[in-house]
Structure 1
Amino acid sequence: MVVALLAGGGAPKRASDGLLGAGLGISWALPVLRILADGAAVVTGGALVAVVLFLPAKDGKLGAKALRACQDAALAAGVWAVASIGGLIATATVILGIPLSHLAEHAAPAGQLTQVRALAAAVVLTAVLAVVLSGVRTLRGARWAAALTVAALTGPLLTGHGAIDRTSFWSVLATTSLVVHVVAATAWVGGLGAVLRYARSRAAVEVFSTLALGCAVAMGVTGLLTAEIHLGGRDEGWGLITQWVTTPYGALVFAKTIAFAALVAVGWWHRRTTLPELATGNPAAFRRLAAVELLLMAGTIGLAVALSRTP
């Protein structure tokens, strides 16, 4: 994330002479809090994917592993809420261009910022989610929690690059694509972590493998569509091809595309090699490859956070 921010021009800079600015500390805290929130969201979503899809429930009541997954998700949702609170404060400070110590004096204009409002909604939703998850005992409750997770993911995405003009068809399309992209990524990355933590049986892995394929297709299509819209290809021909090597934003899109292709290749190797080995009772190969895959996914999330802050 740090390397991508520096390379793409999204890294915080000192304020010009005569301006207060938020300060480098708060400015760097913003992407750090963002990646912390994203990580917590992935853990929350992954645990719920496990509960809903491949951890057994008897007569609608969750088993021991599913209950443990819900408690893990509750803890992660709490971290998500705290990181979102920090992100809200840092966002308001950076956009207004004032030191943190002056923020209380500017509470009214801060409250008018759409980014701050979206993060405030995310704070409320994630806090509610943490409370709900701590008391979930049934499959139905887990499904409601999953829907609440999607809602919490969606709010901050409505104020990003694609939401500059809400009346534009392309803006709406870019924002919708981004929402699908992020939800799919959360299910894919979080689901893989959940498989490793809660259920490494062949049945669970096969269910996740089908989910991962759908998520990969959704991420590939929406990722390229969103990038092409942001790079102006709708007006100037196939802009993505030329601009991903001529602009910092495009270069990061290209790097993220390469990382995505590598993840697809790892998924293909899972299907071809490790699933048959898992069927023979040897889970070691699957665990090793999945661990490497998770590291690659973490790097891709770092690129995504940097991309969201790159002009």
Structure 2
Amino acid sequence: MTSPAPSTRWRVRTLASAAVLAIVVTAVTASLSGAVEATALSDPGALVRWGLPVTDLLVTTAATVTMGALTLAAFVLPQRQVPGAGRGRSGGARAPRGPRVRPDGAAWPIAQRTAAAASVVWTLGVGVQLVLTYAQVAGRAPTEPGFTAELELFLTRIELGQAGLWALALTAVTALAAVATASAAGAAWSVVAGAVAFIPVAASGHAAGAADHILAVGALYLHLIPVTMWIGGLVVLMIVSPRIGRDVRSAASRYSAIAAWSLALVVVSGVASATVRLAGPSDLLTPYGALLIGKALLTLALGLLGLWHRRRTIPRLADGASALFWRLIAVEVLVAAAVIGMATTLSSTPPPVPEIPLEAPSPGELITGYPVPVQPTAFGWAFFVRPDVLVLAGIGSAAVMLVRWCLRLRRRGDAWPWLRVAWGLLGLGVLAWVTSGGAAVYGMILFSAHMVQHMLLVMLIPIFLVLAAPVTLALRALPGRQDGSLGPRELMLAVVHSRLAAFFGNPVIAAINVVLSMFVFYFTPLFQYSLSNHLVHLWMIVHFTLTGYLFVNALIGIDPGPTRPGYPIRLLLLFATMGFHAFFGLFIAQSTSLIAAPWFGALGLPWGVDALADQQLGGYYAWAFGEVPSLVLAVALGIAWIRDDERTAIRLDRAAARDGEADLAAYNAMLARMAGGGTAGETDDGRSPRDNPTQETR
């Protein structure tokens, strides 16, 4: 049944009211917080002081609408289907017969055009924002002589300007992708491009220079992506409402799931950001703290409205009861406008915690950006924490999904072993400790500790994840889409069936990748980049965990992948990998030159560490941590081989019982012909083997 959409006049009035509300909230909060007050020295003028918040609001709004529209086009709204055309490449899964539910699809082009227009405004706004940002930082009006030359120097030589220039370039790429999007798959890639464009924004935001730089940047980035997808999707739902037609209930349900996950991530990232930006409860009484409280309360209100949607209005859409649904959407859009206004002012208001450089920092603090921990102890390894909020958010989400998928299967009456879920949770727990626990704390200053991290990532954690069989569990638990749109199951199938997965999942390629990656990583500048650049560090975590997973899955896994070779070949690949691991570890253990010397050789740790001796110890760790899990895998492969032979023997015995041992008789006949030259199907005495089934072969 098609639910009546709100009238055009009502929709335009709601969106216009939201725009006015966002401007008013920005102006009022900027005035009260002092963000637009004239400075005593080097004041750039009222045009810059007020123009920058207005431009920030424009950029924030355009980015939010862009990400929301792309999210709806990629994962929520179906495209109009041509009869007999099937799902094509945009569906991501193999479905040659086409969708079984014919969607309306009229809202999809509106979402795509909205994303294209908003992304262009986003790009232009970032360009204006760059100019006004320099004017404010330098205290210079853009009309003053020499401003253009100074701006060029700011964009090419100063870190803040370089980050802004990167943001402009990446936003332009997102705009090109959004304009060219013609399918759900294209919209999904555009979402990825937009997420990448937020990286320099997060890296240059407030508290990026705080004591816990990684936590501050990660929390801000984790905040930006879900909040733009959530609030932007809400606004775009209102924009496409006249054409959504009979797709309204499925679109509302899918968007509700995205909003629920986004709310959870926004809360987690908001709490993490507050721990960096606020020194204590008293800071909540500052203008920054008041803005933070106001934004948090409005976000909570949005969450409660979304919960009401999920519980009350969405289930009633099938009956055509959409009036209340759209009224609540309108209220949410207005509340979201106020959130955007407060967020704009908050981004330009200095936090209470001053970003004061450390006085006389030690070499270790200067290089790593963190206080040097005490000498390693068992307690420190077990309980020291340096949270990486991006990785922890991913780990927490994966743990929740594993449990939910298992419960969903069991409610459906399907069996899934809890032991597999336990293996997965154990692997995720070890991953959390490796990336945010004592191993992460000491891994930045000791090569040996870093090698423990690396070996656990590539050799131990993948075993636990493979035993959990997460891909198989997901494909069994996740529902498929019936209207040709992209859902989680379709995305997973697209990855599993991709040529890239087939190539890197090949057992031989996976084994080569495990070995070659270590040599390339440690004997090129990549290793030192991973210590000094958090993006490269995150790449290291993902790459080596995924590499290990593909290798172990090719040996003992049940998750989908390329055809696995026989057990002898698998054992050969495993033993070859063990040999290379041993060679790699011993090579480092016997090396007399320091790897990443500008880092480990200059830390000046107060407890007197010989960096070269510690590196050699790390080599022995690589040898030991590589061999022990490999031996466990060898034992597991041997057991699986024996069980496979037993199953094969049982199957052959059953087949022989059904056909009267026809295969054995044929084999005896073949041997008889080879020995005596008998005719086909006869033994030496000329009789058929079936006449004398007990005759022995020669």
Q: Does TM, scored on the shorter chain, surpass 0.5?
A: yes
Q: Tell me, yes or no, if structure 1 residue 124 matches structure 2 residue 148.
A: no
Report SS of the residue matched to 1:134: helix
Distance 1:64 1:125, change over 3 A: farther
> Aligned to 2:112, which of 48, 54, 70?
70
Q: Which residue of 1 aligns with 2:38?
A: 14
Q: Tell me, yes or no, if structure 1 residue 5 matches structure 2 residue 30.
A: yes
Which deviations, in whole Å up to 9, do the C-alpha atoms of 1:102-125 show, x marking residues without a partner?
311423542233332222222222
8 Å contact kept, 1:45–1:149: yes
Q: Tell me, yes or no, if structure 1 residue 106 matches structure 2 residue 150.
A: yes
Report SS of the residue matched to 1:47: helix
TM-superposed CA distance for 1:183, in Å, is: 0.6
Write the distance in 1 (CA, Å) between the matches of 2:77 and 2:152: 47
Write the distance in 1 (CA, Å) between the matches of 2:300 and 2:151: 44
Write the distance in 1 (CA, Å) between the matches of 2:183 and 2:253: 24
1:284-303 equivalent positions in 2, closer than 5 A: 284-303=323-342
Q: Which residue of 1 aligns with 2:89?
A: 60
Distance 1:54 1:219, change over 3 A: same
Distance 1:94 1:196, change over 3 A: same
Q: Which amino acid aligns with 2:66?
A: T
Q: Which residue of 2 aligns with 1:216?
A: 263
Q: Which amino acid aligns with 2:69?
A: A
> Aligned to 1:136, which of 181, 185, 193?
181
Count of residue correspondences: 297
Report SS of the residue matched to 2:143: helix
Q: Which amino acid aligns with 2:45?
A: G
Write the distance in 2 (CA, Å) between the matches of 1:143 and 1:297: 24
TM-superposed CA distance for 1:4, in Å, is: 1.5
Distance 1:140 1:162, change over 3 A: same
> Aligned to 1:152, which of 178, 183, 197?
197
Write the distance in 2 (CA, Å) between the matches of 1:257 and 1:275: 25
8 Å contact kept, 1:115–1:156: no
Write the distance in 1 (CA, Å) between the matches of 2:221 and 2:168: 18
| Structure with greater helix percent | 1
Q: Which amino acid aligns with 2:304?
A: A
Calculate the TM-score normalised by the size of structure 2. 0.41
TM-superposed CA distance for 1:193, in Å, is: 2.2
> Aligned to 1:259, which of 271, 279, 298?
298
8 Å contact kept, 2:75–2:184: no
Percent of residue pairs identical: 32
TM-superposed CA distance for 1:310, in Å, is: 1.3
Calculate the TM-score normalised by the size of structure 1. 0.89
TM-superposed CA distance for 1:271, in Å, is: 2.0
Higher relative CO (Cα under 8 Å, sequence separation at least 6) belongs to 1
Write the distance in 2 (CA, Å) between the matches of 1:278 and 1:286: 8
TM-superposed CA distance for 1:243, in Å, is: 2.3
TM-superposed CA distance for 1:290, in Å, is: 0.6
Distance 1:65 1:274, change over 3 A: closer
Structure whose alpha-carbon radius of gyration is higher: 2
Q: Which residue of 2 aligns with 1:243?
A: 283
Q: Tell me, yes or no, if structure 1 residue 206 matches structure 2 residue 253.
A: yes
8 Å contact kept, 2:131–2:151: no
Which deviations, in whole Å up to 9, do the C-alpha atoms of 1:218-259 show, x marking residues without a partner?
111111220121112xxxxxx2x3321x22211111111111
Write the distance in 2 (CA, Å) between the matches of 1:25 and 1:272: 47
Write the distance in 1 (CA, Å) between the matches of 2:301 and 2:77: 29
Q: Tell me, yes or no, if structure 1 residue 189 matches structure 2 residue 228.
A: no
Q: Which residue of 1 aligns with 2:138?
A: 96
Q: Which amino acid aligns with 1:38?
A: T
Q: Tell me, yes or no, if structure 1 residue 28 matches structure 2 residue 31.
A: no
Q: Which residue of 2 aligns with 1:235?
A: none
Name stretches of at least 5 consecutive residues in structure 1 with no aligned partner: 233-238
Q: Which residue of 1 aligns with 2:684?
A: none
Write the distance in 2 (CA, Å) between the matches of 1:44 and 1:164: 29
8 Å contact kept, 2:38–2:49: no
TM-superposed CA distance for 1:64, in Å, is: 5.5
TM-superposed CA distance for 1:148, in Å, is: 0.5
Q: Which moved more, 1:46-55 or 1:113-122?
A: 113-122
Q: CA RMSD in A?
A: 1.9
8 Å contact kept, 2:42–2:138: no
> Aligned to 1:50, which of 68, 72, 76?
72
